[in-house]
A and B are shown apart, each in its own frame.
Chain A
Amino acid sequence: METEWLYGLAGGLMIGCAAALFLLVNGRIMGASGLLGGLVDGSGRRNGVERLSFLAGLVLVPAVFVLASGGSETHLTGNLGLVIIAGLAVGLGTRLANGCTSGHGVCGISRLSYRGVAATGLYLLAGAITVGVVRHLLGVS
């Protein structure tokens, strides 16, 4: 358990290097919701192949590593109603806000973008309040 922060730091550095690679080589912001959302609503059709390639790597490469390591778990709740509400909120919210944890959080904060810092502060606050209400007021864990 004491080594978990090391995995966090190592994984975080990999995420940052991926974002740096995508910026310096392809000239693009590595934002998961934007790359997917542009394909979903058609606004990103112009560079669709680049988007699809990124998403293919995002899905397939971890699949290989997880398989080789003997599997992994997301520990996602089994309450599918909750999962659907959360999915709808995350999809709609990230598109309205033009970014999520990767775009606003990683790429925005590192550039000291006012919008990125504000968005990150807001979704962290909303997330913390949601967990607080669900876990400690409603008693669901």
Chain B
Amino acid sequence: MRPVFAFLAGGLFGVGLWVSGMTDTRKVLGWLDVFGDWDPTLAFVLGGAILPMTLAWSASSRRAPVLGGAFPARPEAELDRGLIAGSVLFGFGWGLVGLCPGPAMASLSFGGIGGLVFLMAMIGGMLGAPPVRRALDTAVPVA
């Protein structure tokens, strides 16, 4: 049953990304353009998405997932170099063309050759992550 519900969740996620406008790079870049003609639509997307998820987190306390196993543990409240450098790098790429990982996959069927090139480059960047992470972790402390 796990693959069935994973497929359903992925499908609903993808349709939601399309309906919300997250697969339209013009809308995404308009939302990031706070110094220009700012488009606030994506605030509704984020707000709309956080609402059901807040309820889901509170429903998950003192329970187990329907299909067994355990809920993911709360990560430690700690910022590491990977999180900081990675988030800045991700934001730079997102702001450059307006695609992030979910919409890049959800728009694969209608994104043309450019969408496919983005996905391939993204997978290439993911392949390069483990050695970069090791280098960041073993680098001499700054402070």
Interface residues of A (CB under 8 A from B): 4-5, 7-30, 32-33, 36-37, 40-41, 47, 49-63, 65-67, 71-78, 80, 82-98, 100-102, 104-107, 109-111, 113-115, 118-120, 122-132, 134-136
Q: Is B141 an interface residue (CB 8 A)?
A: no
B125 touches A95 (CB 8 A): yes
Task: Give the residues from 59 to 101 in chain B that come closer than 8 angstroms, CB to CB, to chain A.
Answer: 59-60, 64-72, 74-75, 77-79, 82-101
A16 to B79 CA separation, bound complex (whole angstroms): 25
B94–A123 CB distance below 8 A: yes
Secondary structure at the A interface, as helix, strand, loop or mixed, is helix
In the bound complex, CA of A62 to CA of B17 (Å)? 9
Q: Which residues of B contact A100 (CB under 8 A)?
A: 90, 100-102
**B142 at interface by CB-CB < 8 Å:** no
Q: Chain B contacts of A135 at CB under 8 A?
A: 29, 33, 35-36
* A18 CA / B97 CA spacing, docked (Å): 26
Provided the pairs A16-B48, A106-B53, A128-B95 are in contact, do residues A66 and B21 lie with their beta carbons within 8 angstroms?
no
**Shortest distance between the CB of A95 and any CB in chain B (Å):** 3
Residues of B within 8 Å of A25, CB to CB, are 5, 9, 65-67
Residues of B with C-beta under 8 A to A50:
2-3, 6
> Which 3 residue pairs across A and B have the least CB separation, nearest first?
A11-B20, A12-B48, A91-B125
Overall SS of chain B's interface: helix
B9–A54 contact, CB under 8 A?
A: yes
A58 to B67 CA separation, bound complex (whole angstroms) = 21
**In the complex, are the beta carbons of A49 and B10 less than 8 A apart?**
no
Number of interface residues of B (CB under 8 A): 115
Tally the A-B contacts, defined by beta carbons under 8 Å: 472
Contact of B86 (CB < 8 Å), options: A30, A66, A67, A95? A95
Instruction: Pick the residue among A24, A76, A90, A132 that contacts B125 (CB under 8 A).
Output: A90
Q: How far is the CA of A22 from the CA of B9 in the complex (A)?
A: 6
Given contacts A27-B68, A91-B129, A111-B74, is CB(A66)–CB(B110) below 8 Å? yes
Is B9's CB under 8 angstroms from A57's CB?
A: yes
Q: Let me know if A97 and B82 touch, CB within 8 A.
A: yes
Determine how close the nearest CB of chain A comes to the CB of B127; give it in whole angstroms.
6
Report the separation of the CA atoms of residues A49 and B43 in the bound assembly, to the nearest whole angstrom: 33
A26 is contacted by which of B9, B45, B74, B133 (Cβ under 8 Å)? B9
Set of chain A residues within 8 Å of B97, measured between Cβ atoms: 76-77, 82-83, 86
